[in-house]
Amino acid sequence: MSIPKEAYKALENIVGPEWISDDPAARIADHKGGYATGVVDDRTIPPGICIQPGSGEEVQQITKVANRYKLPFIPTSTFFTSMCAPTVQDVIMMDLKRMDKLEINERDQYVIVEPGVSYSMLQSELLKRGLLTFVPTCGAQASVLANHVHCGDAPFGWRMGLGYRRVLATEWVLPNGEMLKLGSRSYLKEYFWGEGPGPDLKALLRGNEGHEGGLGTITKMAVKIFSFVPGKFTPKGIQPKTTLLLPEERLKWFNCSLPSREKAVDFMYELGRCEIGLMVSTIPPLFRYVARCRGLGPGEFWKRWKEYGENPDREAIDVRVMIIGWTSEKQLEYEEKVLKAVVEEYGGKMSAAPARDESNFLSADAVCSWFIGGRFLSEVYFESLDCGLHTEKDIRRISKLRTPPLADTWDTPMLWAAYEFGHNAKQEYLNYVDDSEVEALRAHEQACRENDIKIGASAIMESTKMFGPYWHNYDKRMEELKAIFDPNNLSNPPKPIERPLFDEQGRTL
């Protein structure tokens, strides 16, 4: 099957010849990719057409043409996740980067963004105005809009909450091409409010993974921003050694070393009760070693990581805390005093770290997680901190079973990025498998599946993802919604829920 010429012509009439292509090179450039390159994108295929709409109206028209010719379509922007790689024939790849309008409302503290606006674009403008948004750890190259309708998590979520809670008025092209306006946009020209009137469909944009383009295309969105501290943020250095110097009179970093995982969790809860800090997160040794070896190559990392693993004296767990004088320098002094008291109460030690940042205000370095080679494995959970203790035990048990082929993480703690003053948290387990051992990992995956071992939203072990009762039947509700909103199954099929497929031998396809 191929895309009919009339369909191509109809699409070309919408965007003009410059912004559409079915050249094989353009299509190949738009298929595989993303953080799980080579693992979950094994079965991706090039799209049939690459197209770049310039407005919400053009997105509507493209969507209607797709419906007329029953052609699947995928909305995408930076494409860092593999979720937007086509897995079915004749996909219209709708790259939304041309849509990059950005409008800041300083008085009411919200910003209107189109999908092509990155966090670096937004944050650089906000910092100049004494305002702030957060930046996800995947990097400030991510689309603000796409991130807010995906997990929407970022380190400053400790103070600022998860991204999807900050979604305001939204313009959403449904899978049939109709424009749905949510919040204040449904009855006003304003973007200041996210809810109602009537049934509030904004909830469909929220969640751990969002709908990943499976329920149409969000073309414009207003998101909440915050006032921020005065002071100068000074960039310094030449790549790869660049950093952002922070205003020390308003922001301070501390590394707090706690004697155990349990103490660390209690410590984070207590900080939440005290309502201090801008960011609170454990720093797994694996992350620390990755950061330290950036620029030195994978050989140096693996050498040092082995030395670390062979060192028996590694019991403590580090929690990194950024405190903030949001309203005044006095507040910073207060937060430091409270932090000291809480650290002492939980038997920890604290030390000040340099007032600089590479990961949170204008994120730059999380991508270094990939330099150490092999295939990248990330498992992410959102739950409470103390539930995380149990999850971590399970993950450690399962990962031990999988080592090798997985790299040895030496039983070290996972990342716990605590959000909303400790009311919830992201836990992330990182690991790696060498290219030559992907098959061995698949065999292990098969064994996990046969033994009904469920491990959550794995980016590599697809068939062990949780579905049905394991996942509160969330998947069933999403499938019902998909049938209502997208009866032709054209919007990034089969998203938003992708059940693993198996061949006759029971292997994951």
Residue 373 near another protein by CB under 8 A = yes
3-class DSSP assignment, residue 185: helix
- Interface region with another protein, contact rule CB under 8 A, candidates 171-179, 239-247, 410-418, 462-470: 239-247
Tokens of 58: 């053009």
- Interface region with another protein, contact rule CB under 8 A, candidates 311-319, 366-374, 449-457, 475-483: 366-374
Residue 440 near another protein by CB under 8 A = no
**Beta-bridge partners for 438:** none
For residue 99, the minimal CB distance to another protein (Å) is 10
Return left, alpha or beta for 152; rule: phi > 0 is left, psi -120 to 50 is alpha, else beta: left
For residue 459, the minimal CB distance to another protein (Å) is 12
- Residue 167 host element (H or E): strand 167-173
The residue from 40, 62, 94, 122 that contacts another protein (CB under 8 A) is: 122
For residue 18, the minimal CB distance to another protein (Å) is 8
> Look-up: residue for tokens 């007032």?
355
How far CA 456 is from CA of 39, 282, 322, 464, in Å, comes to 17, 21, 30, 7
Contacting another protein within 263-322 (CB under 8 A) = 294-299, 302
- Interface region with another protein, contact rule CB under 8 A, candidates 139-147, 222-230, 252-260, 418-426: 139-147
What are the residues whose beta carbons fall under 8 Å from the beta carbon of 202, sequence distance 6 or more? 167, 170, 182, 183, 194, 195
Q: Are 21 and 92 in contact (CB under 8 A)?
A: no
The residue from 44, 52, 133, 464 that contacts another protein (CB under 8 A) is: 52
Q: Read off the amino acid at residue 255.
A: N
For residue 297, the minimal CB distance to another protein (Å) is 6
For residue 494, the minimal CB distance to another protein (Å) is 22
Nearest to 315 by CA among 386, 270, 279, 264: 264
- Quick one: 105 or 141, whose CB is closer to another protein? 141
For residue 291, the minimal CB distance to another protein (Å) is 10
3-class DSSP assignment, residue 412: coil
> Burial of 462 by CB count in 10 Å (0-12 exposed, 13-18 middle, 19+ buried)?
buried
Residue 351 near another protein by CB under 8 A = no
Return left, alpha or beta for 196; rule: phi > 0 is left, psi -120 to 50 is alpha, else beta: left
The residue from 11, 15, 33, 223 that contacts another protein (CB under 8 A) is: 33
Contacting another protein within 92-121 (CB under 8 A) = 95, 97-98, 102, 117-118, 120-121
308-332 burial by CB neighbour count: b if 16+ within 10 A, else e? ebeeeeeeebbbbbbbbbbeeeebb
- Quick one: 357 or 428, whose CB is closer to another protein? 357
Residue 141 near another protein by CB under 8 A = yes
Residue 80 near another protein by CB under 8 A = yes
Residue 213 near another protein by CB under 8 A = no
For residue 325, the minimal CB distance to another protein (Å) is 22
The residue from 2, 13, 242, 473 that contacts another protein (CB under 8 A) is: 242
How far CA 319 is from CA of 116, 228, 249, 284, in Å, comes to 34, 24, 22, 9
Q: Binding string to another protein for residues 392 to 421, with x set by CB under 8 A, is what?
A: ---------------x--------------
- Interface region with another protein, contact rule CB under 8 A, candidates 309-317, 373-381, 393-401, 467-475: 373-381
- Quick one: 138 or 319, whose CB is closer to another protein? 138
